[in-house]
Amino acid sequence: MIKFFDIKKQDKKFHNKILSKINNIILNSTFIDGKEVSSFEEKFKRFCNVKHCITVGNGTDALLIALKSLNLKKDSEVIVPAMTWKSTALAPLNLGLKVKLVDTEKKSSNFDLDDLKKKISKDTRVIIVVHLYGNPGDIKEIKKIIKGKKIHIIEDAAQAHGAFDFSLKKKIGSIGDIACFSFYPGKNLGAYGDGGCITTNNDRFNKNIRMIKNLGSLDKYDCEVPGINSRLDTIQAAILNLKLKDLNKNNKKRVKIAKIYKRNIVNNKIEILNYKRGCVYHQFIILSKIKKKIIEIFKKEKIQFAQHYPISINKLKIFKKYQNKTFKNSEFLSKFGLSLPIDPNLKHHQILKVCQILNKL
């Protein structure tokens, strides 16, 4: 079998250290806010080259808290790509904000900038730029478009740990006003349960975020603002501290795998999604109208695959106002996109086997 992503194999070298860390946490009963949490915040902010890192319970919480920290008025519009994971759109919806969808570029995971320009209005207060599949968004161009406007940029970096924006010469997570990360197990940097964090260079946002995630106050027993309880537990922080050491190495392996796919997939029925330099290939997406046939062959050959994502945001039942509107590029990606195996430890012959099977179709 060619596995899609083998976490056990990737983390094998850390298993004994992880068990030892967990044992110490149990012995010391430091399950919440242990030193591993503050240690990870310090390490990850240095990794992203950013001033503040605030850990939270998961990536969805990160988005919700980030938006809440901006103190937006109820009629404020939040622009979201029509192709992303649903958390991106649900965060503003749960805060009573207006979600405005923008299509992606043709055969790309990034915003169609022409559509973005049309959708920005006097009520637009936030643009959530999703670095989908680990592919850096066009923040440099978006900043030009919104220059002089009171619009914040939130980076949804849930799939882009370690990605780099060469146009701005900055790490993803350090470019927008606020950035949100997920440490779901399947991410490039994943915990063994839920986890997330928020990064920012803004001192005011940092304070707001820390209060909101801590039930409304920096003081345990006080409450200044409506907050929630969202924490990264010590065990998950300990695991992330160990795994962070290998993140760059594993990202380089993903880039190498992507290069092999690009070089060896030669079939006019199959196209490869457009990726930018600096991508960390959380997913490697092909586009094909023979997708069903590819899935049948993959199942027969025991090649694991995935679909990210089979339903575009405008087609979700909760967004009834968009049901009859077309976002052609996002819908094309959802209908014909397929994620190939991207485990950092795939063998060269396994990658070539995937390519050979695709080329025969």
Buried b (16+ CB within 10 A) or exposed e, 222-260: eeeeebeebbbbbbbbbbbbbbbebbeebbebbbebbee
Domain count, the chain: 2
Q: Is residue 219 located within the same domain as residue 207?
A: yes
Do 155 and 127 meet the contact criterion of CB atoms below 8 Å apart?
no
Radius of gyration of the chain (CA): 20
* 217 is a domain residue: yes
pTM: 0.97
Task: Pick the last residue of a domain from 185, 216, 245.
Answer: 245
Do 97 and 77 meet the contact criterion of CB atoms below 8 Å apart?
yes
Cβ neighbors of 221 (< 8 A, separation 6 or more) are none
Per DSSP, the three-state class of 182 is strand
Nearest-angstrom CA–CA distance, 35 and 22: 13
Peptide bond between residue 184 and the one before it cis (omega within 30 degrees of 0): no
Q: Is residue 63 located within the same domain as residue 174?
A: yes
The closest alpha carbon to 213, from 35, 353, 56, 72, belongs to: 56
Confidence class for position 323, pLDDT limits 50, 70, 90: confident
* 348 is a domain residue: yes
Q: Is 90 exceeded by the pLDDT of residue 322?
A: no
* 1 is a domain residue: no
279-320 pLDDT per residue, tens: 999 999 999 999 999 999 999 999 999 999 999 999 999 998
Q: Is residue 90 located within the same domain as residue 203?
A: yes
208-263 pLDDT per residue, tens: 999 999 999 999 899 999 999 999 999 999 999 999 999 999 999 999 999 999 99
Helix (H) or strand (E) holding 99: strand 98-102
Q: In the predicted model, what is the mean pLDDT of residues 75-85?
A: 97
* 211 is a domain residue: yes
Task: Pick the last residue of a domain from 245, 265, 300.
Answer: 245
* 2 is a domain residue: no
The domain of 350 spans 247-360
Q: Is 90 exceeded by the pLDDT of residue 324?
A: no
Task: Pick the last residue of a domain from 245, 270, 305.
Answer: 245
The closest alpha carbon to 131, from 58, 95, 182, belongs to: 182
Q: Is residue 184 located within the same domain as residue 258?
A: no
The closest alpha carbon to 128, from 115, 114, 144, 110, belongs to: 110
